[in-house]
Amino acid sequence: MSDKKKMIIVESKAKTKSIGKIVGPGYKVMHCLGHIYDLPAKELGIDVDKNFKPIYKAVPGKSKLIKQLKDAAKDVDEIILATDPDREGESIAWHLERLFPNKKTYRMTFNEITSKAIKEALNNIKEIDMRLVDAQQARRVLDRLVGYKISPLLWRNLNNSHLSAGRVQSVALRMVCEREREVEKFVAREYWTITGIFDRTVEGKETIESEYTGIDGEALDIPNETNANELKDILEKCTYVVKDVHKKKERRRPYAPFITSSLQQEAAGKLRFSASKTMSIAQQLYEGIELGSAGVVGLITYMRTDSVRISDDAKVEAKEYIARKFGKEYVPEKPHVFKSKKGAQDAHEAIRPTSVLNEPKEIQGYLSKDQHKLYKLIWARFVASQMETALVAVTRIDIAGDDKYMFRTSGSVIQFDGYLRVYNFKAKENGKNKKPELPDIGKGEDMILTGVTPIQHFTKPPPRYSEASLVRELEERGIGRPSTYVPTIETLKKRDYVRLEKRAFKPTKWGFIVNDLLGRNFDEIVDYEFTARMENDLDRVEAGDIQWQSIVDSFYGPFAEKLKKASKTMKYEEKTDEKCEKCKADMLVKTGKYGLFLGCSNYPDCTFTKPYGDTGSGSPHEKKPPVPTGEMCDKCGKEMVIRTGRYGMFMACSGYPKCKNKKPYIGDIDCPNEKCDGKLVIRRTKKGRMFYGCSKYPDCDFVSWQAPIQGEKCPVCGSFMKRAKHEGENVKMCARESCGKVISYDDDGDE
């Protein structure tokens, strides 16, 4: 090893321990907690007249950290910038480089925190890639221009300073609003199906359940009960015979290993994790978990990726493991080839375990319950992707009544389970998805109909977007990138544009209003194709094919013209079905000093107004029923319920008005302590002072005097954020002590 003193700078505090253990005492390992320089929070920070030059300033709350980094660098010869291996990480490294003008600085990237990967990265240090930096600058400048220019128009016209617009968030909001309008317009249509129960006529009868499919191969619509019963009478009189038996073998290939979007979707479906929770736990697994005597070990590769590529070393290790664990027959002759979607960045591998030898059951004791669930999902998906194809025998039996009334049933038998040995969650978790095994029936065999059951159905509206399906739709349309899905969704929720109801997004009234205003005044901002093309342009900047200022310039010209026009014409009024109680004219939804209200369309001749009601989802005049909490009132012992008042939700005693006890409602917030699955609750000291603690006390001793900031989570670890004073400035700070992420109030990512 060289005698030169070296320092490595990573983003998160958690990485310093895992990487420090690998590189040894010859290196100082420091952390920067994300960006140290950024666009200023309270001004545009872009010189439009000087080719859109960004004006970067130190992030509020980072002064002390910057001083610590400079002091630590005084006695080192080389500084290695090991921030995350993506555009954002490259930009952070570029800003860090400015702190050390008289030092040799290098860039180091790695896809996993393992001894081999870190040592290889140290042997392949390089210069900062300005193409990645420029791509990040272009995104940041575009997002700032959109957010900083449009948001004030929304504030002024809607009298609500909580609103915002964003280049990606506004397109996602449009998707949710359009789907909701499809749901509202949907009219259910009645239809019926018929199920038949058949017995074989041969000795050793076996029963088959089969679905009626139509007459002579043509599907027949059964619109109502009368038609269903008429058909039932006909079917009961028919003579039945097996008209056809079709058998085939299907080869079912395994799924590709996870990318960011597919991990979020699968974790939502299988584990019921939100997108932000999935990424927060994945971050923990990537940065490292203490595994007893093995120390801190990074368990998965980098979790922000859209590539399904796998390294040769990982393939070899998986092949050897599969052969040893399950047998050589489970190893394919040639490894499966998975293709990344068009436009995917191939800088990183797919999300996989850093070593398949870290079996989920073997390390379960070192992981929290949720960490284990997610790791098991990632581990199984990767191992399965390297296993042999499954072989399934599928049988389809067609039964004909009087040679024309057709019934059909199908079943399957797994002849070789292949990858399903490891990744068969559907069959294990939901028996309804498993097709029955059918008896060995031959063509021409007589059957006896023993039962006919007509079943009523109604067509269903298109499903509302869940977090997982919204991510999938954004990905398929080429809107956003792996690093933007979670911030986009969290911003929609934080702005109260959407609310989750039964795990599906429903736009609030504010969501509809903002979407309509943006669509009328800034059509390109919410245009799907335009936004997707912009993402492609950012990729071209990264590839070095185009200068970042040119794509900003081509966007800003038309955008500035629309801004100028909207500043004069942008106005919100919505006609309602209500009539004025004084003059009987139409009432309009309008905006005023205190938000939305109903006003007469004959204003100023008629000045009648009335409250508009709730701006959330559902009817604006609907009174929401109290929601039980399971917590007992500390004054009278009755259950506390969640109510909605003028200033939002709060907890109140169900014994009101006899008991008027009430307190702020925190919401469903996880305890920030690692490996604790408790929830945050409000407690009081003996002197009555309110504080926030863990519901698992005394097993968990977490406490905080500061309230959680509603709807905001730490971008590093996913814990809740709280208000704090840091170096004389008011900031948001992560509640998890080991993280300590500090951000300014206006650092909202996609503005």
Q: Cα separation of 397 and 443, whole Å?
A: 9
Whether 748 has a pLDDT exceeding 70, the answer reads no
In the chain, ranges of CATH 1.10.460.10 domains: 137-186+463-569
R_g of the chain, CA atoms, integer Å: 30
Whether 625 has a pLDDT exceeding 70, the answer reads no
Label residues 461-492 b or e (16+ Cβ within 10 Å = b). Answer: eeebbbbbbbbbbbbeebbbbbbbbbbbbbbb
Type of residue found at 161: S
Please answer whether residues 276 and 713 qualify as being in contact, where contact means their C-beta atoms are separated by less than 8 angstroms: yes
Please answer whether residues 173 and 497 qualify as being in contact, where contact means their C-beta atoms are separated by less than 8 angstroms: yes
Separation in Å, CA 82 to CA 16, 37, 69:
11, 17, 14
Highest mean pLDDT among 219-233, 580-594, 685-699: 219-233
CATH for the 6-128 domain, from 3.40.50.140, 3.40.640.10, 3.30.390.30, 3.40.630.30:
3.40.50.140
The CATH number assigned to the domain with range 137-186+463-569 reads 1.10.460.10
Separation in Å, CA 579 to CA 9, 60, 600:
65, 51, 8
Residue 3: per-residue pLDDT: 62
What's the chain's average pLDDT? 87
pLDDT band at 646 (very low <50, low <70, confident <90, very high): very low
The CATH number assigned to the domain with range 190-253+390-458 reads 2.70.20.10
Q: Both tokens of residue 509?
A: 């009234």
Residue 498: per-residue pLDDT: 93
Residue 150: per-residue pLDDT: 92
In the chain, ranges of CATH 2.70.20.10 domains: 190-253+390-458
Q: Cα separation of 173 and 511, whole Å?
A: 7
What SS3 class is residue 541? helix
Please answer whether residues 204 and 488 qualify as being in contact, where contact means their C-beta atoms are separated by less than 8 angstroms: no
Q: Cα separation of 715 and 746, whole Å?
A: 14
pLDDT band at 67 (very low <50, low <70, confident <90, very high): very high
pLDDT band at 347 (very low <50, low <70, confident <90, very high): low
More confidently predicted of 106 and 206: 106
Over residues 489-541, the pLDDT tens digits come to 999 998 889 998 888 999 998 899 999 999 999 998 899 999 999 989 999 99
Residue 56: per-residue pLDDT: 94
- Does the pTM of the predicted model rise above 0.85? no
DSSP letter string, 257-304: PB-HHHHHHHIIIII---HHHHHHHHHHHHH-EE-GGG-EE--B--S-
Residue 749: per-residue pLDDT: 38
Q: Both tokens of residue 431?
A: 């028996």
More confidently predicted of 502 and 3: 502
What SS3 class is residue 174? helix
Whether 120 has a pLDDT exceeding 90, the answer reads yes
CB-neighbour burial class of residue 108 (10 A; exposed 0-12, middle 13-18, buried 19+): buried
Separation in Å, CA 676 to CA 258, 279, 695, 719:
27, 17, 10, 12
Type of residue found at 406: M
What percent of the chain clears pLDDT 70, i.e. is strictly above it? 90
Residue 665: per-residue pLDDT: 66
Lowest mean pLDDT, pick from 358-367, 428-437, 476-485, 721-730: 428-437
Q: Cα separation of 75 and 73, whole Å?
A: 6
Whether 623 has a pLDDT exceeding 50, the answer reads no
Q: What is the pLDDT averaged over residues 186-204?
A: 88
pLDDT band at 713 (very low <50, low <70, confident <90, very high): confident
Lowest mean pLDDT, pick from 83-97, 507-521, 617-631: 617-631
Least Cα distance to 195 among 243, 246, 231 occurs for 231
Q: Both tokens of residue 210?
A: 């089969």
Residue 606: per-residue pLDDT: 92
Residue 631: per-residue pLDDT: 66
Over residues 168-184, the pLDDT tens digits come to 999 999 999 999 999 99
CATH for the 260-385 domain, from 3.40.50.12140, 1.10.290.10, 1.10.10.410, 1.10.8.590:
1.10.290.10
Whether 554 has a pLDDT exceeding 50, the answer reads yes
Residue 621: per-residue pLDDT: 36
Over residues 410-461, the pLDDT tens digits come to 998 999 999 999 997 554 434 444 566 788 888 999 999 999 999 999 999 9
Contacts 24+ apart (CB under 8 A), 460-465: 460/188, 461/182, 461/183, 461/186, 461/188, 462/179, 462/182, 462/183, 462/186, 463/504, 464/176, 464/179, 464/180, 464/183, 464/504, 464/505, 464/506, 465/175, 465/176, 465/179, 465/504, 465/505
Least Cα distance to 91 among 199, 201, 187, 11 occurs for 11
The residues, any chain, with a CB within 8 Å of residue 428's CB and separated by 6 or more, are none
In the chain, ranges of CATH 3.40.50.140 domains: 6-128
Residue 643: per-residue pLDDT: 77
In the chain, ranges of CATH 1.10.290.10 domains: 260-385
* Residue numbers annotated as active site: 302
Least Cα distance to 639 among 650, 652, 620, 648 occurs for 652
Q: Cα separation of 648 and 631, whole Å?
A: 19
